Structure 1
Amino acid sequence: MRPILRLARRFVRWEIDIWASLGRAVTRRPDTAGGTPLRYAGAMSAVLWAFVVVSAVEIPAVHLLIPWTPVRLAALALGIWGVLWMLGLLAAHHMYPHVLTADRLRVRYLRRTELDLPLAQIRTARPVLRAHDGVRPAQLVDDGTLVVPVGDSTNVRIDLIEPRAFATPTGEHTTRVVAFWADDPRAAVALIEAAVGEHTSSR
């Protein structure tokens, strides 16, 4: 029973996140909290748009092929829900970017994964491309790096001055190294380094 309840809760959370993201996209309200967005959606946008287009084409095709009205209407409703769900997932990648503010870097993935890195704790930022096959967002890998991959890869590495505890959807992890994906890793690193330098000089 417990596995079923966990699966049900996960499904409900996903539905809430998808529709909340779609609502933000429609109202053009990305969650940046006044900071500078560091985007990661580019790695997945083409794939998600392909799914949206294929799903949209399937709706009229299925509608024409199924002769039974109740089944046809059910398939139509399911098809529309599927397209909206994929659009919501696409929106989530755009509405919840990483955010760089005057005092911290928020490393994120979709709506519920967020790692809070104070700029005062950042030692270095570097563009480092690394594959993480099958690794979930905010998972600690074998070398002690807490990774937030997109498309099974990260390309920015943050080394902290000292280990820091992070509460994540996969549990609490303590580490001094965080890696994530950014669409433009070199530009992201340059912005982070500038923000760290400015924060240090203002203290």
Structure 2
Amino acid sequence: MRPLTQLPRHFVRLEIDIWVSLARALTRRPDIAGGTPIRYAGAVSAFFWAFLVISAVEIPAVHLLIPWPPVQLIALILGAWGLLWMAGMLAAHHMYPHLLTDEHLRVRYLRRVALDLPLADIRAVRNDLRAYDGPKTLQLTGLNDTTLAVILGSSTNIRIDLIDPRTFHTPHGDFTASTVAFWADDPQTTVASIRAAMVPDRAA
């Protein structure tokens, strides 16, 4: 659990990330320089779009139902802020995909979580659909907590086994793991692309 003293800083950073992501989406500048994007937003896009449509209908409806102008204004401001915030969250999932370069795989979640895996350090990669409990985006799992899962929609579908354990520094703390699991919208193509980029004798 995140210490209470860190919560204000966490929410401020999240708010900044949301607005930066929305600005990137409006200017069509996804953060994909130097690599091939691996998309993961498909797992949650339907939820965000449903929320946005419902909110777009709800804002004028609430405005008509409330008879007091000051309350109408407050409701309008809160409704518009919520609509833009969720649009920013949707944008963040699209603007910061995983990235595959000639030298490493970067597993990401939104703007702040990025796990850099040198391709030379990867022992094996495979499809592996798994479900998880709890709200945490990052979880250490396994009998000895050796798998670091970057969870989306309560699931991961790709598993990366490393030659040796690595320590990853994240906004949620430091995690040491020998396996990394994450979600990709097209897992078969993703696994094939990673294997093609790996050292030949480790691509199987």
Query: What residue number does 1:99 align with?
Result: 99
Write the mapping of 1:15-164 to structure 2, written as runs, cut at 5 A: 15-134=15-134, 136-143=136-143, 144-164=146-166
Q: Deviations over 1:27-50 (max 9, x none)?
A: 101111220000000000001100
Q: 1:176 to 1:69 in 2, by over 3 A?
A: same
Write the mapping of 1:162-173 to structure 2, written as runs, cut at 5 A: 162-173=164-175
Q: Deviations over 1:51-109 (max 9, x none)?
A: 01111111000100111111101100111111000000000000000000010000000
Number of corresponding residues:
200
Give the structure-1-normalised TM-score: 0.93
The answer to which of 185-194 and 166-175 deviates more is 166-175
Query: What residue number does 2:190 align with?
Result: 188
Query: What residue number does 1:7 align with?
Result: 7
The answer to which of 5-14 and 34-43 deviates more is 5-14
- Where do 4+ consecutive residues of structure 1 move more than 3 Å? 2-5, 197-200
Once the two structures are aligned, what percentage of the paired residues are identical?
Answer: 66
Q: Deviations over 1:151-194 (max 9, x none)?
A: 01000000011111101122111111000000011100000000
Report the 3-state secondary structure (helix = DSSP H, G, I; strand = E; otherwise coil) of the residue aligned with 1:175: strand
Q: Is the 8 A contact 1:59 1:80 kept in 2?
A: yes
Q: Compute the displacement of 1:142 (Å).
A: 3.6
Q: Is the 8 A contact 1:120 1:199 kept in 2?
A: no
Give the structure-2-normalised TM-score: 0.93
Distance (whole Å) between structure 2 residues aligned to residue 199 and residue 137 of structure 1:
32
Q: Is the 8 A contact 2:29 2:95 kept in 1?
A: yes
Q: What is the identity, as a one-letter code, of the residue corresponding to 2:43?
A: A
Q: Any unmatched runs of 5+ in structure 2?
A: none
RMSD: 1.9
Distance (whole Å) between structure 2 residues aligned to residue 199 and residue 51 of structure 1:
47
Report the 3-state secondary structure (helix = DSSP H, G, I; strand = E; otherwise coil) of the residue aligned with 2:20: helix
